[in-house]
Amino acid sequence: MFLAPFKHHRPTELSAVFEALAKYGDEAAVYAGGTELLLALKARVLRYEHLIDLKRVRELAGIKVDGEELVIGALATHHEIANSAVVKQHVPAYAALSEGIANIRVRSAGTLAGNLSFSEPHSDPPSLLAAMGASVTLVSPQARRSVPAAEFIVGEFTTVRNEDELIAEIRIPLTRAGEGYRYLKFGHLERPAVGASAGCIIRGGHTRYRLWLGALGDHPIHAAEVEDAIAGVPVALLPDVLPKLAVSFASKISATSDLHGSADYKQHLASVLMQRALAAACAAASGERVSHA
């Protein structure tokens, strides 16, 4: 497939990106890796007169620790995140997720910020970012604001990002001692049919859990009623209560039947993956090392 012609822009400063966006409006799109956008352009699902390459805007680059948070710049690729010593040390569960995204070619080019901006539902990162309490920093010419990752995606290919805003960075709280997170997924295709993200937070003898599901709805699904029901339950006693709760919650999710599987199959995957992800998160909280998803 070939692309319809467009004018290419390669700014080196954020201010120049905003100028171009203001000038061309909805005839322009920004991109970095292009792993999602170019597919849509080739399929002629989208058409833009102007493409703005962000890759030379150094203000958007880099991965670093800032206080109690890991800061992932908008230009960081999945491959850079997966192999970053800082990410592996401070948020090992997210590094493991990155290593499992799509394939090495997509990871080499694709960025986390691009993945979130596109918000294709069959995606890995959103549910784990929600479970870890991450946030997305949006910048516009006028302002800078932070949105919880849990609230960033509102529907299929739809986020709370305004037309004049760009993702500057993604912030993930550092995983501390006594905490563990884990993302697990299953699917027959390149993208996950269902993903489950879990967290286990042990503080002063009290244990709390985090449970989110991805890919089977149009945005990440918070298993809040399961979290509430197991709050304070010691890790060792989870197998007594979790299976029934997981099956019950999964059966109520309104999953869609598509080429990734039927709705009831996805509900089954959700209940199984929730339990396995939580067990793995608990193991991580007690110090077990994470391998890739």
Partner 1 sequence: MLDPQTVSFTLNGTPTELTIDASELLVDVLRDRCRLKGTKRSCDVEVCGACTVLADGLPVSSCTTLAVDIDGKSITTIEGLAKDGKLSRVQQAFVDHAAMQCGFCTSGMVLATTALLEQKPSASEEEIRHFLRGNICRCTGYIKILEAVKSLV
Which residue's CB is nearer to partner 1, number 11 or number 34? Answer: 34
Residue 70's Cα: distance from chain center in Å? 14
- Cα(42)–Cα(50) distance, integer angstroms: 15
Q: In the range 62-121, which residues lie near partner 1 by CB under 8 A? A: 79, 99, 102-106, 108-109
Say how far apart CA 282 and CA 285 lie, in whole Å.
5
**Residue number with CB closer to partner 1 (49 or 218):** 49
Asked if residue 2 binds partner 1 (CB under 8 A), the reply is yes
Q: How large is the angle between the packed helices 263-285 and 92-99, nearest 10 degrees?
A: 140
Report the residue number, 78 or 90, with the smaller CB distance to partner 1: 78
Contact 121, 156 (CB under 8 A): yes
39 binds partner 1 (CB under 8 A): yes
Residue 21 burial (C-beta neighbours within 10 Å; 0-12, 13-18, 19+):
buried
Does 27 sit near partner 1 (CB under 8 A)? no
Report the SS3 class of residue 151. helix
Q: Would you give the distance in Å from CA 98 to the centre of its chain?
A: 9
Among 16, 24, 55, 65, binds partner 1 (CB under 8 A): 55
Residue 289 binds partner 1, judged by CB under 8 A: no
Residue 125 lies near partner 1 (rule: CB under 8 A): no
Q: Which amino acid is at 206?
A: H
Give me the least distance between CB of 77 and partner 1, in Å please. Answer: 9
Give the number of residues in contact with partner 1, rule: CB under 8 A. Answer: 28
Report DSSP state, residue 252. Answer: T
- Choose the binding region for partner 1 from 33-41, 133-141, 202-210, 256-264 (rule: CB under 8 A): 33-41
Quick one: which of 20, 24, 46, 53 contacts partner 1 (CB under 8 A)?
53
**Residue 4 in contact with partner 1, rule: CB under 8 A:** yes
Report strand pairing: 144-148 vs 135-139: antiparallel
Round to whole Å and give the CA distance between 186 and 166.
31
Instruction: Name the residues that contact partner 1, by CB under 8 A.
Output: 1-8, 10, 34-35, 38-39, 42, 51, 53, 55, 79, 99, 102-106, 108-109, 190, 292
